[in-house]
Amino acid sequence: MRLDLKVTPGARHEGFDGWFTDADGRRRLKVKVTAAPEKGKANWAVIKLLAKRLGVAPSDIEVVHGETGRDKTLQIAGPDEELRRRIETIGGGTG
């Protein structure tokens, strides 16, 4: 399944900061990571944080759009219905 994100790299704390709808009408999850946006460090931090929260291996998550930007789309391998349920439980606060 695909998941749209708005990532804040270099944050003081890592975690999820709720959902919002962007100007294009996409529902995005706000994610904060402490890693710097250099050499893929922030992307890797996002992948590790989501993998832990969703109970999947980091290798099951891939950035398919927005590799160098804050708006990202991830592809997550696994049973869509179960992933959808887990994703919907992500609200605010730390992971």
Amino acid at position 6, single letter: K
What global pTM score does this model have?
Answer: 0.90
Say if 94 falls within a structural domain. Answer: no
pLDDT confidence of 94, banded at 50, 70, 90?
very low
Say if 42 falls within a structural domain. Answer: yes
DSSP H or E stretch at residue 49 = helix 41-54
Say if 38 falls within a structural domain. Answer: yes
pLDDT digits (tens, 9 = 90+) for 33-82: 999 999 999 999 999 999 999 999 999 999 999 999 999 999 999 888 99
CATH code of the domain covering residue 12: 3.30.1200.10
Say if 95 falls within a structural domain. Answer: no
d(CA 4, CA 62): 12
Look-up: residue for tokens 């930007």? 69
- In the chain, how many domains are there? 1
* Structural domain containing residue 40: 2-88
Say if 84 falls within a structural domain. Answer: yes
